[in-house]
Chain A
Amino acid sequence: MHHGKWPHGSDWLCEAVAECYLPLLRMCDALLADGIRPGITFDISPVLCEQLTHPDFPDLFRAYCAEHAGLAAADRTQTEEPLPEELMHSASWWEAWYNDRAKEYDEVYNADIIGALRRLQDAGAIEVMTCAATHGYLPLLAEDASVDLQMFVARANYRRHFGRDPLGTWLPECAYRPAYAWHTMLPVAAYSRARKREGVEQVLARHDLHYFVTDEPPLMDAKRLNARNKKPLSPFELYVVGSPPHKERVGVLTRNIKISMQVWSAELGYPGDGDYLDFHKKSSRSGLRYWRVTDTKVDMSAKQMYVPENAQQRARDHAKHYVSILETAALHRISESDDAAVTICLPFDTELFGHWWFEGPTFIENVLRGIQTSAVLSRTLAHERMQPENVVGEIALPESSWGNNNNHSVWMQHETFWLWEREYALERRVRLLLEKHHRARWDETLARIMIALFRELLLAQASDWPFLISNGTARDYASMRFHSHAADCDRLCTTAERYATTKAMTDEDRAHLEAGEARGLIFAAELMEYIKR
């Protein structure tokens, strides 16, 4: 919010609401109306909760829908290059689609997406888990206190939005690090010497979070804590993770790669089917999408017209096929093992359903309906499944992520070394500040400065910045955002030092603090709770 409209501003959020969250909420309500519990687990990050509940968002969303309905209408009525008959039909369809989303947002969901999710969770229809406050890449943060801050704020934010404590968390990028004597290979003297660090599961346990999700390859590289148990580890089973000799244990669900790739992969999976809406080809006038995939290898000029009815039918067919894959996989696993039951964990970016794959919500709804009528399968919420009676063993999980090669290289590589060096310098500076000026001695003004400082530190830690730099999609934007949060945090450290020593703020310090607060007070209540604990 308040970072412009496009390409990295509010349009992105509006697209997600129109194409993903509203269709998925509608799907949940449709299933409930038919007496079917959706039984899916969502992760909504704290930043996303704040974005969706921001007082400015409803008007931005209405304007977005009106703008896009208007673009479709303009495509339909423009006379310079009249559209072919079938495109006219598509333009009318999109015009109605955007108008329907605006109406649905206000009239069905009362302009409150988080409220709708909360009601579904309260009714036991879905589960919502939390995620690190600003999606910080936890294993690479230099201070245990930083990991703790990310999860403290996440939990407090969840309570504010969902009125209860979260039971589990999505670890940003599934990134995990066990407890060990960690040090950085970067030239940052403060963190170059190995020192004992907490395992991520220890922080989760401290915040009463009982499960997280890992990827299949790290599980296959994990070691059983009970070495006498020689049974191979399997993504179909549930484990608890620990870093001996530490006693904390937290449950882990494992992404089943083979079964989920059928949905993830644009090339090999369902989303690449020729009948589905093509994501990339857009009208040069309006930016609207009127074409279908046709063939993933065909030239843009050869894309054929999108026919919504055909695509919807295709999604229903694919759902049937997927349910049969799930049944086969489950029965195969049961027959080849001595397991009484199997668990198949299928995590997806929510944006896959509706944004990247427009017909995704229809697919997922029909998968859930198919599971409902299956003689073999049932589905369950994460906390229901992650009960001790379903856990088959304790494991030591290796340091890992769900990125390339399941290591940290997507977020930490030669193009992002500078970012981490600066981030580490910030963490170090904040730590020294806290050691020098103990919380017990903070007055109201210093607390206010520290809240602003923690906020900027959290925002600088978002995994989005190194990710966008590494994959090259928005390198300048990500660098700019990181620099601005890091510079503000640094400046606030100076302000805090000066104030703690002199009990006075310069005009420049006050103006800088107020300018930051005017940009937004994300996590103000959570950070107040943090400094008062």
Chain B
Amino acid sequence: MVESQIVILVVAGSSPVARPLLPTPWLFYTAAFVDYGHLCLSYASAVRDASREVAAR
């Protein structure tokens, strides 16, 4: 019964590691998810654009 795990989460790419955009703890339902989905997509797109701008400079 010595039950224990270690989880290493490795991230790569332009997405932010942690961002207090949405309240935690979160549990979202289907309807809310659609809204969050739009928000995620627009945010991811903005991050990508910003990254490209930085890279271009």
Residue numbers of A with Cβ under 8 A of B are 12-13, 16, 20, 24, 39-45, 47-48, 51, 129, 131, 134-135, 165, 167, 170, 172, 205, 208, 210, 213, 240, 242, 247-250, 253, 326-327, 330-331, 333-334, 339-351, 353, 364, 367-368, 371, 376-385, 387-391, 394, 462, 464
Count of residues in B whose CB is under 8 Å from the partner chain: 36
Residues of A within 8 A of B5 (CB): 42-43, 170, 213, 347-350
Assuming the A-B contacts A247-B29, A385-B9, A387-B26, are A172 and B3 also in contact, with contact meaning beta carbons closer than 8 angstroms in the complex? yes
CB distance from A101 to the nearest CB of B (A): 16
Residues of A within 8 A of B2 (CB): 12-13, 16, 48, 51, 351
Residues of A within 8 A of B48 (CB): 340
A380, B17: Cβ atoms closer than 8 Å: yes
Q: Which of A250, A331, A345, A388 contacts B7 (CB 8 A)?
A: A345
Assuming the A-B contacts A40-B6, A172-B3, A213-B7, are A389 and B12 also in contact, with contact meaning beta carbons closer than 8 angstroms in the complex? no
Residues of B within 8 A of A24 (CB): 6
Is B56 interfacial (CB 8 A cutoff)? no
Assuming the A-B contacts A249-B30, A383-B24, are A40 and B3 also in contact, with contact meaning beta carbons closer than 8 angstroms in the complex? no
A384, B17: Cβ atoms closer than 8 Å: yes
A342–B13 CA distance with the chains assembled, in angstroms: 6
B43, A389: Cβ atoms closer than 8 Å: yes
B1, A51: Cβ atoms closer than 8 Å: yes
Residue of B nearest to A43 (CB): B5
A167, B25: Cβ atoms closer than 8 Å: yes
Assuming the A-B contacts A210-B26, A378-B12, are A394 and B33 also in contact, with contact meaning beta carbons closer than 8 angstroms in the complex? yes
A389, B22: Cβ atoms closer than 8 Å: yes
A249–B31 CA distance with the chains assembled, in angstroms: 11
A179–B25 CA distance with the chains assembled, in angstroms: 23
Residues of B within 8 A of A364 (CB): 6, 8
Residues of A within 8 A of B40 (CB): 388-391
A377–B21 CA distance with the chains assembled, in angstroms: 22
A439–B47 CA distance with the chains assembled, in angstroms: 54
CB distance from B34 to the nearest CB of A (A): 10
Q: Which of B8, B11, B30, B47 contacts A342 (CB 8 A)?
A: B11
Within 8 A of A (CB), among B13-40: 13-19, 21-22, 24-30, 33, 36, 39-40
A41, B7: Cβ atoms closer than 8 Å: yes
A253–B1 CA distance with the chains assembled, in angstroms: 24
Q: Which of A344, A351, A391 contacts B9 (CB 8 A)?
A: A344
Residues of B within 8 A of A343 (CB): 9-11
B4, A350: Cβ atoms closer than 8 Å: yes
Assuming the A-B contacts A208-B27, A394-B33, are A330 and B3 also in contact, with contact meaning beta carbons closer than 8 angstroms in the complex? no
Residues of B within 8 A of A348 (CB): 5-8
Residues of A within 8 A of B4 (CB): 16, 20, 42-45, 48, 349-351
CB distance from B23 to the nearest CB of A (A): 10
Residues of B within 8 A of A384 (CB): 17-18
CB distance from A176 to the nearest CB of B (A): 15
* Shortest 4 CB-CB contacts between residues of A and residues of B: A341-B13, A341-B15, A330-B12, A384-B18
Residue of A nearest to B39 (CB): A389
Residue of B nearest to A368 (CB): B8
CB distance from B13 to the nearest CB of A (A): 3
A48, B3: Cβ atoms closer than 8 Å: yes
A462–B5 CA distance with the chains assembled, in angstroms: 17
CB distance from A461 to the nearest CB of B (A): 12
Q: Which of A44, A331, A340, A394 contacts B14 (CB 8 A)?
A: A340
Q: Which of A248, A351, A377 contacts B11 (CB 8 A)?
A: A377
A248, B27: Cβ atoms closer than 8 Å: yes
Q: Which of A13, A51, A341 contacts B12 (CB 8 A)?
A: A341
Assuming the A-B contacts A334-B13, A341-B14, A376-B12, are A247 and B30 also in contact, with contact meaning beta carbons closer than 8 angstroms in the complex? yes
Task: Give the most central of A41, A48, A341, A378: most B CB within 10 Å.
Answer: A341
| 14 contacts across the A-B interface (CB closer than 8 A) | A16-B4, A41-B9, A44-B4, A45-B4, A208-B27, A249-B28, A249-B29, A343-B9, A364-B8, A378-B11, A381-B18, A387-B24, A389-B19, A391-B36
CB distance from A230 to the nearest CB of B (A): 17
- Please name 13 further chain A to chain B contacts, defined as beta carbons within 8 Å, in addition to the given A129-B7, A135-B1, sorted by A numbering: A40-B7, A210-B24, A213-B5, A342-B12, A343-B9, A345-B7, A346-B8, A347-B5, A349-B4, A378-B11, A388-B39, A389-B43, A390-B40
B7, A341: Cβ atoms closer than 8 Å: no
Assuming the A-B contacts A380-B18, A387-B19, are A48 and B1 also in contact, with contact meaning beta carbons closer than 8 angstroms in the complex? yes
Q: Which of A249, A347, A394 contacts B6 (CB 8 A)?
A: A347
